[in-house]
């Protein structure tokens, strides 16, 4: 049975008498649960500043029990709290647009894990905020684990941080017909000149290996300052692109230089197994894993919290939208 705090306040923040607040644990993010049926939009407008203050402190908020009821209202609620959703560009995830800038979270196969990552943290343009909305929870599994990247940075060994700080992270990405996302989907254009323009503006190296195969290589810092708190954040896509996390069948199929998405130290050298273990151990011990309920709305500070996806059975429709675009400081 869930036990909610009796008080409707947390650290002096009050959200009205219609909600209960449950502090975060391994099984739940900071959760705001509706007690009575109220208009979620009126409530969100009234407490927008408080919600944003809570998000800035805690990095993750789950709104539960609110009658959101679909993509349109998810978009509306997100806009009230975080501002207008932005278009999903420079993609890594197969997604369908559902309404405005609301997308299906991913159509990645249901039997596979999506490893922990912060959205668009491989990109020169990223979103500070990301939200998820559970339209249809999976029959079994399909959780979205989340982890506090501030805690990760505090747990990493000093020499690990030093190495990443000095070298940054190199990303190598290959797009080819029938494998992962096509270059047309990633860059949202059918024009190769337009792709060249985008990549040049980012300062990325690229080559057309053949007519349909584009290889792109770029390096970005491992750490960014949070645009509001100015704190240093571990903000990159290193973990997501580790070869050791790939399905062995994929590793066998591809030459290393043609893997769909791979990460290295910024000088192109391999990240050592003992360094990778620090991350694997951290996510194993520190991920918050909760069971989705229909109409759950999860709001993340995308720099403070990473997310992933566990395999699932049955239908699962989770929607996502992103907001507050930022430019990576290189």
Q: Which residues bind Fe ion (CB under 5 A)?
A: 119
Q: CA-CA distance, 278 to 13, in Å (whole number)?
A: 35
Q: Write down the least CB distance from residue 309 to Fe ion, Å.
A: 8
Q: Write down the least CB distance from residue 323 to Fe ion, Å.
A: 14
> Closest CB to Fe ion among 43 and 88?
88
CA distances to 132, 163, 170, 172, 222 from 266, in Å: 31, 10, 4, 11, 9
Q: Write down the least CB distance from residue 258 to Fe ion, Å.
A: 23
Q: How many degrees, rounded to 5, is the angle at CA 61 between CA 59 and CA 63? A: 170
Q: Write down the least CB distance from residue 125 to Fe ion, Å.
A: 15
Q: Which strand (E) or helix (H) includes residue 284?
A: helix 273-286
Q: What is the DSSP string of 181-201?
A: S-HHHHHT-S-HHHHHHHHHH
> Closest CB to Fe ion among 22 and 309?
309
Q: Write down the least CB distance from residue 278 to Fe ion, Å.
A: 22
Which are the contacts of 89, defined by CB distance < 8 A and separation ≥ 6? 123, 125, 187, 188
Ranked by CB distance to Fe ion, the top (closest) residue is 119
Q: Write down the least CB distance from residue 221 to Fe ion, Å.
A: 20
Q: CA-CA distance, 64 to 294, in Å (whole number)?
A: 9
> Closest CB to Fe ion among 119 and 301?
119
Q: Write down the least CB distance from residue 19 to Fe ion, Å.
A: 27
Q: Write down the least CB distance from residue 72 to Fe ion, Å.
A: 22
Q: CA-CA distance, 129 to 111, in Å (whole number)?
A: 27
Q: CA-CA distance, 280 to 282, in Å (whole number)?
A: 5
Q: CA-CA distance, 70 to 7, in Å (whole number)?
A: 30
> Which residues face 301 on adjacent strands?
129
> Closest CB to Fe ion among 119 and 295?
119
What are residue 239's phi and psi, to 5 degrees?
-60, -40
Residue pair 323/83 in contact (Cβ under 8 Å)? The answer is yes
Q: CA-CA distance, 51 to 159, in Å (whole number)?
A: 37
């Amino acid at each position: 049975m869930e036990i909610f705090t009796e008080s409707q306040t947390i650290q002096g923040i009050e959200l009205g008498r219609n909600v209960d607040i449950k502090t975060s644990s391994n099984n739940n993010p900071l959760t705001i649960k509706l007690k009575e049926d109220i208009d979620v939009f009126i409530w969100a407008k009234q407490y927008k500043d408080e919600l944003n203050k809570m998000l800035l402190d805690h990095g993750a908020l789950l709104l539960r029990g609110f009658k959101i009821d679909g993509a349109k209202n998810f978009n509306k609620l997100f806009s009230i709290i975080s501002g207008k959703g932005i278009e999903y560009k420079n993609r890594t995830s197969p997604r369908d647009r559902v309404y405005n800038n609301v997308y299906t979270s991913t159509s990645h196969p249901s039997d596979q894990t999506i490893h922990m990552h912060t959205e668009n943290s491989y990109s020169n343009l990223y979103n500070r905020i990301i939200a998820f909305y559970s339209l249809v929870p999976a029959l079994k599994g399909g959780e979205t684990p989340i982890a506090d990247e501030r805690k990760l940075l505090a747990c990493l060994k000093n020499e690990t941080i030093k190495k990443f700080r000095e070298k940054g992270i190199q990303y190598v990405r290959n797009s080819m017909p029938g494998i992962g996302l096509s270059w047309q989907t990633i860059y949202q254009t059918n024009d190769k000149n337009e792709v060249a323009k985008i990549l040049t503006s980012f300062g990325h190296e690229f080559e057309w290996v053949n007519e349909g195969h584009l290889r792109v290589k770029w390096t970005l810092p491992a750490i960014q300052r949070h645009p509001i708190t100015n704190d240093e954040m571990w903000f990159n896509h290193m973990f997501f692109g580790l070869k050791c996390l790939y399905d062995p069948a994929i590793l066998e199929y591809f030459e290393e230089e043609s893997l769909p998405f791979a990460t290295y130290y910024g000088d192109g050298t391999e990240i050592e197994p003992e360094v990778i273990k620090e991350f694997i151990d951290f996510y194993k011990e520190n991920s918050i894993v909760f069971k989705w309920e229909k109409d759950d709305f999860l709001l993340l500070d995308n720099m403070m919290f990473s997310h992933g996806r566990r395999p699932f059975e049955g239908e699962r429709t989770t929607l996502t939208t992103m907001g507050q675009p930022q430019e990576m400081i290189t």
